[in-house]
Amino acid sequence: MAKTLAEKVWDAHVVRKGDGDGANAQPDLLYIDLHLVHEVTSPQAFEGLRLAGRKLRRPDLTIATEDHNTPTLDIDKPIADLTSRTQIQTLRNNCAEFGVRLHSLGDAEQGIVHVVGPQLGLTQPGMTVVCGDSHTSTHGAFGALAMGIGTSEVEHVMATQTLSLKPFKTMAINVEGTLRPGVTAKDIILAVIAKIGTGGGQGYVLEYRGSAIRALSMDARMTICNMSIEAGARAGMVAPDQTTYEFMKGRPHAPQGAEWDAAVEYWNTLRTDDDAAFDVEVDLDADTLEPFVTWGTNPGQGVSLSQAVPSPEDFGDENAKAAAERALQYMGLEAGTPMKDIRVDTVFLGSCTNSRMEDLRAAADIIRGRQKDPNIRMLVVPGSARVRLEAEAEGLDKVFKDFGAEWRFAGCSMCLGMNPDQLEVGERCASTSNRNFEGRQGKGGRTHLVSPVVAAATAVRGTLSSPSDLEPAPEPAAIRIDAA
């Protein structure tokens, strides 16, 4: 029978088939290939194992890192916040007790859990990947079925290496065409969320397809899959192809030799069959897409950057109207204001959505040779210690520092208001992260979700801007000297 990519990966992991739809019918029991762990959602799960006298079944399929609580400055000093320090120490104790591999602050492989997995080559096509973190959907970029789980499920995976799951429905997101310069993967996913809504993907696995997706790098595909959860979908996927294999080849945990060949042979089968049917299909035109930005307090409240802040009256649905009114009040915005007139205080380049090499390079290319708006504070936070090292090897740290940005150590940083990097009350931020919820980046903070290049252009101009709004950069200094 013809199958979608998601159905193929699902079927390959069924330990025990569920028994249908009866009153106490059990769902399918699925095997989990990789369990990623971090300090926030794991302490109560480890404690549960201890209380029940259970073992962690497969430490060799489990890996942990520290990211949410960690500071991005002074990482060689003890963490100042006592509860954060306790939570990190608890992870270290638990990993030692249960034999889990841990990459701690200061380690070259430490970083945001969703940057670390792919970077080590642990995320591979056709796998099931889970983590107590909703942005686990990131790993779907490799053609893995990857989803966020709660702490009870974390404990369940620790004890059994499986999850009981009801099958998902499938949704194709077809993105055809060619992105214009200055338009990125982030704009695709923000446009998808605005189109289907924050609940539109609920109960579905999304598969991103079409020529615009095939043309994207792995870093960009991760950006898209990362925010599947913002459309309500627990998982998003892209079928693996040559781009995937080139990214993976030679990574520490990628298969080698004959195993690589066997793996590729299997991975090549991981595509939706031509005659397979999705439950729903959604089309997006890449050719006409513009840089996208959010104006409200949920990720579905977005518009093209060239548009204006919408009016609550624009929404037919009473709930959407009320939500828009509330969002405008929280965001301190007037309906009708051009988005490009909105002045921001802070620019944040980082998070599991946009903190990989391609993101840093794209932003650096915009700001190179330019000066930051003096009223703006810009934080640049690489997704992992490895990304930071790689960026420094290319001299990107110098580009950011010369521009006037702060070059930080790796972690979740200003994405979520859990470590020292937070907005002040009323502060407005252009952020490459994934959530613009009330207070997400700090109590009373106001978030506009943007791509890395829009973040960079905004840092130059001080107002929400796209790269095309910038004056041409001055010629490099060396050439000017020659001309003189």
Partner 1 sequence: MEKFTKHTGIGVPLRQSNVDTDQIIPAVYLKRITRTGFEDALFSAWRKDPSFILNQEPFNAGSVLVAGPDFGTGSSREHAVWALKDYGFKAVLSSRFADIFRGNSGKQGLLAAQVAQDDIELIWKELENAPGTQVTVDLESKTVVCGNIVAPFDIDDYTRWRLLEGLDDIGLTLQQEADITAYEATRPAFKPKTLPAKLS
Q: Which is nearer to partner 1, 267 or 403 (CB)?
A: 267
Cα–Cα distance, 448 to 428 (Å, whole number)? 8
Neighbours of 358 (CB within 10 A): 18
Neighbours of 107 (CB within 10 A): 15
Residue 148's beta-bridge partner residues?
Answer: 131
Between strands 428-431 and 169-176, the pairing is: unpaired
Q: Which is nearer to partner 1, 153 or 207 (CB)?
A: 153
What is the footprint of partner 1 within residues 441-470 (CB under 8 A)?
443
Cα–Cα distance, 469 to 137 (Å, whole number)? 33
55 binds partner 1 (CB under 8 A): no
User: Of the ranges 143-151, 186-194, 353-361, 471-479, which one interacts with partner 1 (CB under 8 A)?
Assistant: 143-151
Residue 380's beta-bridge partner residues?
Answer: 349, 407
State which of residues 1, 53, 60, 274 lies at the interface with partner 1 (CB under 8 A).
60
Cα–Cα distance, 91 to 42 (Å, whole number)? 8
Q: Which is nearer to partner 1, 408 or 435 (CB)?
A: 435
Cα–Cα distance, 184 to 353 (Å, whole number)? 12
Shortest Å, Cβ 452 to partner 1? 22
DSSP state of 146: E
State which of residues 174, 198, 243, 468 lies at the interface with partner 1 (CB under 8 A).
198
Shortest Å, Cβ 308 to partner 1? 22
Beta strands in 238-345 (DSSP E): 280-285, 292-294, 302-304
Shortest Å, Cβ 52 to partner 1? 7
Neighbours of 320 (CB within 10 A): 15
* Rg of the chain on CA atoms, in Å: 22
Cα–Cα distance, 190 to 298 (Å, whole number)? 11
DSSP state of 308: B
176 binds partner 1 (CB under 8 A): no
State which of residues 1, 52, 393, 483 lies at the interface with partner 1 (CB under 8 A).
52
State which of residues 118, 148, 350, 383 lies at the interface with partner 1 (CB under 8 A).
148
Token output for 351: 């998070």
Residue 407 region by backbone torsions, left for phi larger than 0, else alpha for psi between -120 and 50, else beta = beta
Cα–Cα distance, 228 to 383 (Å, whole number)? 19
Token output for 226: 């990362």
- Site map (CB under 8 A) of partner 1, residues 401-420, x = contact: ---------------xxx--
Answer for the pair 85, 420: CB distance below 8 angstroms, yes or no: no
User: Of the ranges 86-94, 279-287, 331-339, 451-459, which one interacts with partner 1 (CB under 8 A)?
Assistant: 86-94
CB neighbour class for 23 (10 Å; exposed up to 12, middle 13-18, buried from 19): exposed
Answer for the pair 141, 32: CB distance below 8 angstroms, yes or no: no
User: Of the ranges 226-234, 285-293, 353-361, 472-480, which one interacts with partner 1 (CB under 8 A)?
Assistant: 226-234
User: Of the ranges 38-46, 210-218, 304-312, 400-408, which one interacts with partner 1 (CB under 8 A)?
Assistant: 38-46
Q: Which is nearer to partner 1, 163 or 224 (CB)?
A: 163
Shortest Å, Cβ 481 to partner 1? 39
State which of residues 1, 24, 77, 483 lies at the interface with partner 1 (CB under 8 A).
24
State which of residues 282, 320, 335, 470 lies at the interface with partner 1 (CB under 8 A).
320
149 binds partner 1 (CB under 8 A): yes
Q: Which is nearer to partner 1, 165 or 460 (CB)?
A: 165
203 binds partner 1 (CB under 8 A): yes
Binders of partner 1: how many residues, by CB under 8 A?
A: 97
Answer for the pair 282, 197: CB distance below 8 angstroms, yes or no: no
Shortest Å, Cβ 466 to partner 1? 27
With CA atoms as reference, report the closest residue to 268 among 247, 244, 252: 244
232 binds partner 1 (CB under 8 A): yes
426 binds partner 1 (CB under 8 A): no
Shortest Å, Cβ 218 to partner 1? 16
54 binds partner 1 (CB under 8 A): yes
116 binds partner 1 (CB under 8 A): no
What is the footprint of partner 1 within residues 279-308 (CB under 8 A)?
298, 300
Shortest Å, Cβ 63 to partner 1? 4
Answer for the pair 129, 121: CB distance below 8 angstroms, yes or no: no
133 binds partner 1 (CB under 8 A): yes
What is the footprint of partner 1 within residues 346-385 (CB under 8 A)?
none
Q: Which amino acid is at 306?
A: S
